[in-house]
Amino acid sequence: MRFGIKTRPEHTTWEQMRDVWVAADDIALFDSAWNWDHFYPLTGEETGPNFEGWTMLAAMAQATRRIRIGCQVAGMIYRHPAVLANMAATIDIISQGRLDIGVGAGWNQQECDAYGIELPPLRERFDQFDEGVQVIIGLLSQPTTTFEGKHFRLTEARCEPKPVQRPHPPIVIGGRGPKRTLRAVARWAQQWNAITQNADQWRELKETLLVRCAEVGRKPEEIVCSVNVRIDPEKGIGPAVEEVASYREAGADLAIMNLPHRAEPGMLEPLAEALAALA
């Protein structure tokens, strides 16, 4: 099993987050580090600070040297996919080929209302998401992309320079929807990420993903299956490691450890030691 970390860019400072990612970069057990794509905090005082995820990734690409980096996950509603593709190509070059492109349909009504961003009904939102993923893949992998969709239209569009990773950086699709989300995973993703209540719920979703892969003729082993595991600051590392073990038994390939808010770099070595037996 592989391991990553996730830090929440809310109610914190740039220096605190950077120091944790740099520390993870020095620990071989951790192979990826993640933030999120929100503009308002999701916990605590909603008027507090929350850093923008993708500009932060560009800075983290310079601050680290080994660990893979990604946003978990970018809401397709927030940026035109052609703009996101150009951002991703640039960050992949800055990181020398260490970017994972996390994408999802988007869901946060509060942010959309505040910023005047349209949050379409669920079916339309997933139609838009499906088109957006295809636009991103086309721009990152092809010399030019022409796309005629309901939501996005491109005419001989270019994205230069191309990313380091070919044909494109891995697409990570986050979500639990058994129909639209898992079908999109089967069609386009190199990694699927889900936040679930327990390993049994995750296992059921994984079985559904296998069905979706069969429907589109995709080999399931081509998709890394990842799960998020939260470390409760009140309970400590032990219960989280036990939860990881249950996900490992269920077949998860990658456990992303959601660190406590304002975690200090010093907690990473004990965490790595506790997880090592499951690697």
Whether 66 contacts 25, CB under 8 Å: yes
Beta strands (DSSP E) in the chain are 2-6, 30-35, 68-71, 74-75, 99-104, 145-148, 153-157, 171-174, 191-194, 224-230, 254-258
The pLDDT assigned to 118 comes to 95
Neighbours of 143 (CB within 10 A): 9
For 125, the token pair is 């939102």
Joined together, the tokens standing for residue 4 give 């990553």
At a CB cut-off of 8 Å and minimum separation 6, what does 174 contact? Answer: 72, 73, 102, 103, 104, 192, 193, 194, 195
Half-sphere exposure of 138 (CA within 13 A, CB side): 21
**191 and 168 Cβ atoms separated by less than 8 Å:** no
Angle at 208 between CA 147 and CA 166, to 5 degrees: 40
Neighbours of 209 (CB within 10 A): 23
How far apart (Å, rounded) are the C-alpha atoms in residues 125 and 221? 28
What pLDDT score was predicted for residue 73?
96
Q: Which pLDDT tens digit goes with each residue over 1-42?
A: 999 999 999 999 999 999 999 999 999 999 999 999 999 999
Write out pLDDT tens, residues 174-229: 999 999 999 999 999 999 999 999 999 999 999 999 999 999 999 999 999 999 99
pLDDT, tens only, 142-155: 999 999 999 999 99
Residues facing residue 89 across a β-bridge: none
Over its C-alpha atoms, the chain yields an Rg (Å, rounded) of: 18
Q: What is the spatial distance between Cα 187 and Cα 195, in angstroms, rounded to a whole number? A: 20
Residue listed under structure tokens 């491109």: 154
pLDDT in tens, 41-92: 999 999 999 999 999 999 999 999 999 999 999 999 999 999 999 999 999 9
| C-alpha span between 250 and 13 (Å, rounded) | 36
Q: What is the pLDDT of residues 90-138, one digit of tens each?
A: 999 999 999 999 999 999 999 999 999 999 999 999 999 999 999 999 9
